[in-house]
A = this chain, B = another copy of it.
Amino acid sequence: MNLPAEHPLVAGLTDQSRLVRAYRGERTDTVPVWFMRQAGRSLPEYRELRVATRMLDACLDPVLAAEITLQPVRRHGVDAGIFFSDIVVPLRLAGVDVDIVPGQGPVFRRAYGDAAGVAELTAIDPSMLDAAFAPITEAVRRTVAELNSLDNGSGTATPLIGFAGAPFTLAAYLAAGGPSKDHLEARALMHADPGAWAALMWWTAQVTGRFLGAQVLAGASAAQLFDSWAGSLSVADYERHTAPASRQALSFVHELGYEIAGVRRSVPIVHFGTGTGELLGAMREVGADVIGVDHRVPLDVAAGRVGAGVPLQGNLDPALLSAPVTVMDAAVRDVLARGTAAPGHVFNLGHGVPPGTDPAVLTRIVTVVHEDAAA
């Protein structure tokens, strides 16, 4: 399926932005930068907006979700917005009884870690979700409308990155009925009942893939699949029990191509997880264009693992955000230097912005990154 003519990429608004170019593996005037969880608790304007609204309600309110997505773009001058949402949003829209409990995370009415639970989930037709995504589509449209007139220095509109959780990470929550230490319930199900596990992963891939596809269709210029908990898997289990579903989820984005001057292009896809040093190559193989790297593996080492020609995103240790300025600046420059080992580099943290971060520190990093690369 082709993206509509008014899509920012197709209309040429973001196709030449630093972010999209770096995601395509091109060198840009300065390295683009954004921060995972840049829209969130580190910003006073976010805390003010969220004060009377529960997390999932905020995600499902198009005006609020758009405003929260835009806040860090305006404040920090980052090179991209990341759509404000939560990985369980498509589950909620599918009718699954889940809420996000502050300080705890997503909590489900029941755990779905057995065949009966999986049967209950898979009885829900994922294709009905496309209509349920209306508040998401609306929020993306509102966000993109403002980003289209926001030039953060690229000489182009600011692109929006779509956001979704990978099937394994969603399944880890579903199998445990909430957050778990080691995602033991999910790993137990995959070994104890591989059939039920495959059904759960198929369904989750449909749900989260459609969620990501809907964001791209509505105007996102790139997409990031978060497999936060994949690092709990051995390479063998990742490849056998996880990769097929991630590939399937990403197919919903892959089919949304566009043509420029007769050349078919696809929307760039970033794939990220924490503790995934051993999995970087396998995560690329599921159909990702760009690999996000956490703070554990230096970018030059990661470049060797993902193979030639793969742009990287990352990977300043968030623990550096409270260090003295000279220490932090040196660390930022080290990340930039190592990032030159990849054909394209998008600066980011190795994980999400910690809630207590001083937002001025993030703004400063944007300046340092943009000035360093220009030098």
Contacts and interface: CB of A to CB of B under 8 A. Distances in A.
20 contacts: A182-B274, A182-B351, A187-B319, A188-B319, A188-B320, A188-B322, A191-B323, A191-B327, A191-B331, A192-B322, A192-B323, A233-B296, A234-B297, A234-B317, A236-B298, A237-B317, A275-B275, A277-B277, A278-B278, A278-B296
Interface residues of A, number: 33
A227 B132 CA distance: 46
Contacts of A320: 188, 191
How many copies are assembled?
Answer: 2
Contacts of A298: 234, 236
Nearest to A334: B236
Interface in A277-298: 277-278, 295-298
A102 interface: no
B275 A188 contact: no
A317 B278 contact: no
A262 interface: no
A192 B328 CA distance: 9
A275 B296 CA distance: 11
A324 to B, nearest CB: 7
A244 interface: no
A323 B236 contact: no
A4 B190 CA distance: 50
B184 A319 contact: yes
A153 interface: no
A359 interface: no
Interface centre among A188, A236, A295 (most CB of B within 10 A): A188
Contacts of A275: 231, 275
* A interface, over-half SS: helix
A231 to B, nearest CB: 7
A177 interface: no
Contacts of A317: 187, 191, 234, 237
A318 interface: yes
Contact of A184 (B187, B318, B327): B318
Interface centre among A192, A236, A237, A331 (most CB of B within 10 A): A192
A117 interface: no
Nearest to A186: B319
Interface string A246-272: 000000000000000000000000000
A325 B188 CA distance: 13
Contacts of A322: 188, 191-192
A354 B180 CA distance: 12
Interface centre among A277, A297, A298, A331 (most CB of B within 10 A): A277
Contacts of A327: 191-192
Interface in A310-326: 317-324
A237 B182 CA distance: 23
Interface in A193-236: 231-234, 236
Contacts of A237: 317
Contacts of A278: 277-278, 296-297
Nearest to A321: B188
Nearest to A350: B234
A192 B324 contact: yes
A233 B234 CA distance: 19
Contacts of A190: 319
A349 to B, nearest CB: 11
A280 B275 CA distance: 15
